[in-house]
Structure 1
Amino acid sequence: MSQQHTGGGRMPLLMLNMFIAMLGIGLIIPVLPEYLREFGAGGSTAGYLIAAFGITQFLCSPIFGEMSDKYGRKWMIVTGLALFTISNLIFATADHIAMLYVSRFVGGVGAAAMIPSMLAYVADITTEENRGKGLGRIGAAMSFGFVIGPGAGGFLAELGLRAPFYVSASVGVFAVLCTMFFVPESLPMESRLAARASTVKRDFIWVQIAKSFKAQYFILLVLVFTLNFGLLNFEAIFPMFVDEKYSYTVREISLIITIGAGAGTLIQLFYMGKLIDRFGEQLLIKATLLLSAVTLVLMLLSGNFYYVLLLTTFFLTLTSIMRPAINTLLSKSAGNEQGFVAGMNNAYMSLGNIFGPAAAGTLYNLHLNGPYLLGAVVLLFSLFLAMSRAGRGSQTTNVKLGG
């Protein structure tokens, strides 16, 4: 198969970029409780600070998705990586809590520029038949960075609370340079010129969200939201939860999340294509929704280290399978507007990134178990939606979420 159909040597660099982006999101989680104590802030602030990232990500995702159709994927990816680097530098040098919010807002803009462009890039360089494998690899890098960030942050924090952010910024500079010099543009010039010449004006984000309610792939966008709601709901309070309820140390927390991340990544790298071929995206999505909800409830029953390690690994593996399965169906439904649909994908993802940690921080102050119970309810409701749509007609049977 040709390099254009498989992604060739470009895929490892894309995976590195996605890993770095998601690493920056999760890096702050294990050090956040102690870091916030320097600013006199508490648990609810932790949730809101993580949610701040999703606000600008949500507002800017459709804008950058459209820009990637007009001006190419490469420079949107470079822009996103550069903003991630700036975000981490601001966080590392902050001397007031307002600077922490500024850092997360800047990071959200970076995610909006990079993530939809990255997903569209994969669609550009793969065939529809091979797209699931390509998105599975990108999803592996995304999930690995998303959940190994807390582990890496915990270990680096032993060098100092601000060390994780300086390291992340340094790696970000490296990724920017690699992308500039070694990643070619994937979108042909004629496609970019046609997008620029188009007189069709896209609506504001709220109008687009409203219109997406009637789209044939709307249920998939809901699942993007619930996946990120559940994952960020879990991650935002995990260190504080196991610290207060089970007296875990930072090293134990880092070890749990790192092992869970590794397991999920291995599944995505080596078995995602086989799982899709064997079971199909629809069955995988439904099964992972159910099992993820059950796992969140089981997390409340015991503080035994190995019990929590097993359940955390299982939960992170399930979400690692769910993400590329959803992204594959969305990409198949996008047609010639990969950038735009990827932008909507990122918008719904950022909504989950907003409401998941915000709800977790608020409920955590009311009851320790509240965030995980809410996460389980949200995932079960998503399963109900998926099952209720089973058998209904769709313009494209390949993207219908049902039997």
Structure 2
Amino acid sequence: MAFFPKMTKKQGIGLLLVILILFIDMLLYSLLIPIVPYFKETLQPTSTMIGILFSSYAVAMLAATPIFGPISDRIGRKIMLLVGLVGLILSTVLFAYSDSMGLLITARFVQGISAAATWPTALALLADLFPSSKRGAVMGIALTAISTGTLLGAPIGGWLFEASGHRTPFLAAAAVTVVSFALVYVFLREESSRTASEKLHVIGLLRHPQVAFIAGIVLLAEISLCLLEPTLPVFLTDTLQVSPAAIGLLFAVMTLGYGLIAPVAGSLSSRFNPYTLMFAGICSLAVFMPFLVWAGTLWQAALAMAFVGASVGFTLSPTLATLGEIIDRGGSGAYGTAYSLFNMFHGVGMVAGPLAGGILTDALPVSAAIHVVAGCILGLGILLFVRLRLSAGTRSHSVNKELPF
């Protein structure tokens, strides 16, 4: 089983450019984290304003994704990627020179809109370039690029900030994004035209039973992952007396587990039933989440974080290739619309996860809240899978035929 499939020069260039784009996207997303204390000291925002600053990215991405993905199906991937990269450059420069919370929130909002242009378009480009037999592996590699950018953004931002001030991380990131823009402009080659038959609507696509299952699985995984960010650090600090640096390393371990397993799960999805793999991943997530609060030492917590991250990666990686296969079976090339759906539920998870975590931990101790979440994940995952199996063998008139089980 090859995790890195053989590919043509055109495919290789496309994959490298997608890796670079997604890496930079998530690098910019997490670059802000270590600089927040500086802005909090200099601008003295309320906690509510800090919350708005972080949530504005997901809100913007959620609002813009249904627009940009389908547009890329009509005008092409290259133009939309270039537009998204220009937006990332502008938002990053705006971060560097913001002197008010209003400008910072605007920069974060523009960053979210830009991500709505780059994420689904980059994934759709991979679906354009690779046949279904290779798509699982390359989608897994793309998810690894995302997790790597998330993993490195905060430490790189912190190091550059300490070296030469708060503007340097953003200006350096803007320079790297300019280089990425140039590389995409010069080297990316794609099909020059799209047909009217490739136009689909996101809501219509969601009526497809298998797509609805994938959307539900993505939402469960993303909410579970994102609700840990505001709740787990406080719990670990209180129970294990770990430092902020140690908490950062624990989340890095979780991200590393996610990134390492994603290509493996992607490759497996072309050999085994991808829906069963997704279900296995969501069950694994439900099983390992309680270990986060059962851990009695730092090493046990790190092991639990690794398994939780790997479970999320194992769950999400098959979803990308399977969405592309559903589009293929319908005789359409509307991959941008399909991956817009993935991005939308990713954004919903980013918004709903911290909110759900806050509500639960206001009502329950963190340990009890994690157990409740794990039980809900397992129960809803089983419900989604049973519903999918009951729909097997039927036809979806909104998009295409069902895949066989």
Query: TM above 0.5, one fold?
Result: yes
Cα deviations across residues 311-365 of structure 1 (Å, max 9, x unaligned)?
Answer: 2222222222222211111111123121221222222221212222333455566
CA contact (8 A) 1:6 1:127 kept: no
* Distance in structure 2 (CA, Å) of the matches to 1:274 and 1:211: 25
Partner of 1:178: 183
Q: Which residue in the other structure is 1:251 paired with? A: 245
Distance in structure 2 (CA, Å) of the matches to 1:233 and 1:399: 36
Cα separation, 2, equivalents of 1:282 and 1:289: 11
1:327 to 2:332 alignment: no
CA distance in 2, matches of 1:344, 1:317: 23
Kindly indicate whether residue 268 of structure 2 is the aligned counterpart of residue 268 of structure 1. Answer: no
Give the aligned residue type for 2:187.
F
For the 8 Å contact 2:136–2:267, the answer to whether it is kept is: no
Counterpart in the other structure of 2:310: 317
Q: Look up the equivalent residue of 1:23 and give its one-letter code.
A: L
Q: Which SS does the other structure have where 2:289 is aligned?
A: helix
Whole-angstrom distance in 2 between the partners of 1:81 and 1:264: 25
* Aligned ranges 1:186-205 → 2 under 5 Å: 186=190, 188-191=191-194, 194-195=195-196
Residue 305 to residue 283, structure 1, CA distance change in 2 (3 Å): same
The residue aligned with 1:128 is 132
Counterparts of 1:217-296 in structure 2, within 5 Å, are 217-239=211-233, 242-243=236-237, 246-269=240-263, 271-276=264-269, 279-296=272-289
- Equivalent of residue 65 in structure 2, options 50, 53, 61: 61
Q: TM-score, with normalisation over the residues of structure 2? A: 0.82
2:65 maps to amino acid: S
Q: Is the 8 A contact 1:268 1:320 kept in 2?
A: yes
Matched, 1:350 2:347: yes
Judging changes above 3 Å, is the alpha-carbon distance between structure 1 residues 163 and 110 closer, same or farther for their aligned structure 2 residues? same
Compared with structure 1, are the counterparts of its residues 307 and 39 closer, same or farther at alpha carbon in structure 2 (3 Å cutoff)?
A: farther
For 1:85-96, what aligned pairs fall within 5 Å after superposition? Answer: 85-96=89-100
Q: Per-residue displacement from partner, 1:217-242 (whole Å, max 9, x unpaired)? A: 11111222222222222235555554
Contact 2:136/2:270 (8 A) holds in 1: no
Answer whether contact 1:156 1:164 (CA < 8 A) is retained. Answer: yes
Aligned partner (choices 16, 19, 39) of residue 20 of structure 2: 16
Evaluate the alpha carbon distance shift between residue 87 and residue 229 of structure 1 in structure 2; reply closer, same or farther with a 3 A threshold. farther
Mapped partners of 2:28, 2:363: distance in 1 = 29
Partner of 1:101: 105
Q: Which runs of 5+ in 1 are unaligned?
A: none
Identity level (%): 26
- Give the SS at the match of 2:337: helix
Q: Where does residue 75 of structure 2 map in the other structure? A: 71
Q: Any conservation in 2 of the 1:136–1:268 contact (CA below 8 Å)?
A: yes
CA-to-aligned-CA distance 1:45-80 (integer Å, 9 cap, x gap): 554433221112111112111211111101211221
For normalisation by structure 1, the TM-score amounts to: 0.83
Q: Counterparts of 1:86 and 1:377 in 2: how far apart (Å)?
A: 43
- Quote how far apart the aligned CAs of 1:303 are: 5.9
In structure 2, how many angstroms separate the alpha carbons of the residues matched to 1:5 and 1:373? 48
CA deviation after TM superposition for structure 1 residue 216, in Å: 3.9
CA distance in 2, matches of 1:96, 1:241: 32
1:114 aligned residue (114, 118, 124): 118
In 1, the alpha carbon distance for the partners of 2:293 and 2:166 equals 29
Mapped pair 1:307 → 2:300: yes
* Cross-structure match for 1:383: 381
CA contact (8 A) 1:56 1:109 kept: yes
What is the CA-CA distance between 1:211 and the residue it aligns to? 6.9
Report what 2:144 is aligned to. Answer: 140
CA RMSD of aligned residues (A): 3.5
What CA deviation, in whole Å up to 9, does each residue of 1:75-99 have, x standing for no partner?
Answer: 2112212222322333333332222
- Could you tell me which of 87, 94, 115 is aligned with 1:83? 87
- CA distance, structure 2, for counterparts of residue 144 and residue 359 of structure 1: 26
